[in-house]
Amino acid sequence: MKGIVFTEFLDLVEEKFGLEMVDKIITSSNLKSEGIYTSVGTYEFSEMLQLLTKLSENTNIAIDNLLQVYAEHFFSVIKRSYSGILQMYSDPIEMLASIENHIHVEVRKIYPDAELPTFQVLEKTPTKLVLIYKSSRAMHAFGLGLMNKTFEHFNTASTIEFEKLNDAATEVKFIVNKI
């Protein structure tokens, strides 16, 4: 997992819960990196899972809720650092339908070792999109947060439902409607 995901995560933890919490989740985890991340570095996903688990234990907030809030923050990082990609879209359905064939393709050009999910388009109309998310990292809640912010970015209202296709939630169906 790319360092930018860690540095932005720890920044948000500090903003919401304070520096003591950052220190607490780092020191109580077993991290090869010792909790020192640079935005361009690459670190094991298991480190993010440990940090999320410790944060969840200390705040009593479910990991999926933490991931969704984190994704909403990450969207502002995308706006700041990858505005060129966002500017190519004027419609949220078009943008979400293009994660697989365009957006994450561009991300991979920037970070060849990025660990990205796949999003298969099952159905697409001007107002509806059905996607299948697949990733061994089971971060669909991160996807949900980014989807919410995508609609907000285009000042468009939406309903986003999802259905886990397996217990591990490594495969999740998203049903997205523009309203």
Q: Contact positions toward ligand HEM, by CB under 6 A?
A: 1-2, 5, 78, 82, 85-86, 96, 99, 103-104, 107, 114-117, 135, 137, 139, 142-143, 146-147, 150
Nearer to ligand HEM (CB atom), residue 14 or residue 100? 100
| 3-class DSSP assignment, residue 134 | strand
Taking the CA atoms of 162, 165, 170 and 173 in sequence, report the sign of the dihedral they define.
negative
CA–CA gap between residue 94 and residue 92 (Å, rounded):
5
As measured in angstroms, the least distance from the Cβ of 21 to ligand HEM is 22
Nearer to ligand HEM (CB atom), residue 24 or residue 178? 178
Q: Residue 172 region, left (φ>0) first, then alpha (ψ -120 to 50), else beta?
A: beta
As measured in angstroms, the least distance from the Cβ of 29 to ligand HEM is 18
As measured in angstroms, the least distance from the Cβ of 39 to ligand HEM is 10
Nearer to ligand HEM (CB atom), residue 118 or residue 127? 118
As measured in angstroms, the least distance from the Cβ of 118 to ligand HEM is 9
As measured in angstroms, the least distance from the Cβ of 58 to ligand HEM is 23
CA–CA gap between residue 147 and residue 133 (Å, rounded):
12
Nearer to ligand HEM (CB atom), residue 26 or residue 147? 147
Nearer to ligand HEM (CB atom), residue 14 or residue 115? 115
Cβ atoms of residues 174 and 160 within 8 Å:
yes
CA–CA gap between residue 149 and residue 146 (Å, rounded):
5
As measured in angstroms, the least distance from the Cβ of 85 to ligand HEM is 4
CA–CA gap between residue 51 and residue 63 (Å, rounded):
10
Nearer to ligand HEM (CB atom), residue 66 or residue 78? 78
| Tokens (6 digits) for 110 | 């920037």
In degrees, rounded to 5, the angle at the alpha carbon of residue 159 between the alpha carbons of residues 45 and 147 is 30
